[in-house]
């Protein structure tokens, strides 16, 4: 579960960075500084890609956690089974 909290924290940080880059890009556009606007646009695109990767990892990790829980319940149920071999 420790890994999940790190991924979620990284996701929050990346989302905040994306918001900042977009804000800086718009400020640069407003001041007619196209070079800086393009730089911040590129940084925002990179953050979007990072966010997508982290979201995929969170989803994969969450599904694995659910699957592991299901497997544990299933294993426990099969060990506690009242069925007997009938010949």
pLDDT digits (tens, 9 = 90+) for 17-47: 999 999 999 999 999 999 999 999 999 999 9
**Residues near 10 by beta carbon (within 8 Å), at least 6 away in sequence:** 54
Residue 87 lies in a domain: no
Residue 85 lies in a domain: no
Mean of all residue pLDDT scores within the chain? 83
Q: What is the pTM of this model?
A: 0.68
Number of domains in the chain: 1
Residue 64 lies in a domain: yes
Residue 23's domain spans which residues? Answer: 2-79
CB 61 within 8 A of CB 4: yes
**Residues near 39 by beta carbon (within 8 Å), at least 6 away in sequence:** 28
Residue 17 lies in a domain: yes
- Cα–Cα distance between 72 and 65 in angstroms, integer? 11
Residue 84 lies in a domain: no
Residue 86 lies in a domain: no
């Amino acid at each position: 579960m420790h890994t999940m909290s790190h991924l979620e924290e990284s996701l929050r940080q990346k989302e905040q960075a994306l918001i900042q880059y977009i804000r800086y890009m718009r400020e640069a556009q407003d001041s007619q500084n196209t070079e800086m606007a393009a730089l911040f646009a590129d940084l925002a695109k990179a953050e979007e890609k990072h966010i997508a990767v982290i979201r995929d990892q969170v989803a994969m990790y969450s599904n694995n956690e659910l699957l592991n829980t299901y497997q544990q319940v299933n294993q426990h149920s099969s060990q506690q089974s009242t069925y007997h071999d009938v010949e």
